[in-house]
């Protein structure tokens, strides 16, 4: 897999903006006019958002981008691109961070660096199930303060703070785009098994006890694997449980 600075996947558009409210919102605006996949990158986001519409701070030096694409196979298949994106993000960060950085993926798609959250992914469907937007935020230079996140959330870290490595966000974009193209091709050529195996090899706390919070219910058990739908398989005292969506705590 090539991740040279000037490499760019063939047939994929690139929109580089000085400032935008949110790359996810810009993706929704551009989607109807796109003929293929496109990356939308912003040097500045003024109204960035994370999961469940939560406000998300995007300081200067950090990375913000959204990939818009039309995957085949409907909504269930599209949701699996969360794992494709996580693998691509981990690969791009590994290229920058060097061999001594400890990178793992927290189910389903947060990337951890030395045990702290360095990056997150937000996947949303646009125009029904035909188009998806994959929003990616990476703490390249600055990590949020503890007071800015939920009390039980994973401690945030930055690439610079953990490794001393610096990279401009606009230079990180082609690395990520090329890595995504690599795993997207694997997904299309070999199916989810190839993605699932690669993801499990990088999974945080696999085989260990974790807590999953689903609505008002809390389940504690051993993180056994993920299934063919991407659901987390948790072995609890009450038996084996498949969890499709949850907040995970270590």
Place of tokens 């990356």: 39
Q: Is residue 130 part of a domain?
A: yes
> Does residue 111 surpass a pLDDT of 50?
yes
Identify whether residues 34 and 90 lie together within a single domain. yes
The arithmetic mean of pLDDT across residues 187-207, rounded, is 97
Q: Is residue 143 part of a domain?
A: yes
pLDDT of residue 52: 52
In angstroms, rounded to a whole number, what is the distance separating the alpha carbons of residues 33 and 36? 9
Last residue of a domain, one of 159, 183, 200: 200
191 Rama class: left (phi>0) / alpha (psi -120 to 50) / beta: left
Identify whether residues 146 and 239 lie together within a single domain. no
Q: Are 227 and 235 in contact (CB under 8 A)?
A: no
Instruction: Read off the pLDDT of residues 122-143 as tens digits, 9 standing for 90 and up.
Output: 999 987 668 999 999 999 999 9
Q: Is residue 70 part of a domain?
A: yes
- The rounded mean pLDDT for the chain is 90
Identify whether residues 20 and 85 lie together within a single domain. yes
Identify whether residues 141 and 191 lie together within a single domain. yes
Q: Is residue 139 part of a domain?
A: yes
* CATH number of the domain within which 228 lies: 2.30.30.100
> Does residue 236 surpass a pLDDT of 80?
yes
Confidence of residue 62 (pLDDT cuts 50, 70, 90): very high
Q: Is residue 2 part of a domain?
A: no
Q: Is residue 6 part of a domain?
A: no
The arithmetic mean of pLDDT across residues 43-68, rounded, is 78
Identify whether residues 138 and 224 lie together within a single domain. no
Q: Is residue 225 part of a domain?
A: yes
Identify whether residues 55 and 138 lie together within a single domain. yes
Q: Are 214 and 42 in contact (CB under 8 A)?
A: no
Identify whether residues 114 and 172 lie together within a single domain. yes
According to DSSP, the residues that pair with 41 across neighbouring strands are 16, 65
- Coil vs helix vs strand at 195: helix
The arithmetic mean of pLDDT across residues 56-61, rounded, is 76
CB atoms inside a 10 Å sphere around CB 86: 27
Identify whether residues 183 and 241 lie together within a single domain. no
Q: Is residue 82 part of a domain?
A: yes
* CATH number of the domain within which 70 lies: 3.30.930.10
Identify whether residues 194 and 216 lie together within a single domain. no
Number of H helices and E strands in the chain, helices first, is: 6, 12
Identify whether residues 85 and 174 lie together within a single domain. yes
Q: Show the tokens assigned to 236.
A: 């609890």
The total number of structural domains in the chain stands at 2
Domain of residue 147, residue span: 13-200
Identify whether residues 166 and 238 lie together within a single domain. no
Identify whether residues 44 and 162 lie together within a single domain. yes
């Amino acid at each position: 897999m090539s991740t040279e600075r000037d490499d760019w996947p063939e047939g994929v558009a690139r929109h580089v903006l000085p400032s935008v409210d949110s790359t996810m919102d810009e993706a929704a605006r551009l989607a109807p006019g796109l003929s293929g996949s496109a990356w939308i990158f912003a040097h500045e986001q003024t109204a960035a958002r994370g999961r469940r519409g939560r406000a998300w701070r995007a300081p200067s030096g950090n990375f913000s981008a959204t990939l818009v694409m039309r995957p085949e196979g409907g909504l269930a298949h599209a949701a699996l691109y969360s794992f494709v994106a996580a693998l691509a993000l981990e690969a791009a960060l590994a290229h920058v961070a060097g061999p001594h950085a400890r990178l793992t993926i927290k189910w389903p798609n947060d990337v951890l660096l030395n045990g702290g959250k360095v990056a997150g992914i937000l996947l949303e469907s646009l125009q029904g199930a035909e188009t998806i937007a994959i929003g990616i935020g990476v703490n390249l230079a600055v990590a949020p303060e503890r007071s800015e996140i939920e009390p039980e959330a994973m401690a945030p870290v930055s690439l610079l703070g953990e490794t001393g490595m610096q990279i401009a966000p606009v230079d990180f974009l082609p690395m990520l785009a090329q890595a995504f193209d690599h795993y997207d091709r694997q997904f299309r050529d070999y199916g989810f098994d190839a993605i699932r195996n690669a993801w499990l090899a990088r999974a945080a706390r696999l085989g260990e006890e974790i807590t999953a919070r689903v609505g008002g219910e809390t389940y504690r058990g051993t993180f056994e694997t993920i299934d063919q739908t991407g659901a987390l398989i948790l072995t609890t005292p009450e038996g084996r449980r498949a969890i499709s969506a949850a907040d995970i705590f270590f």
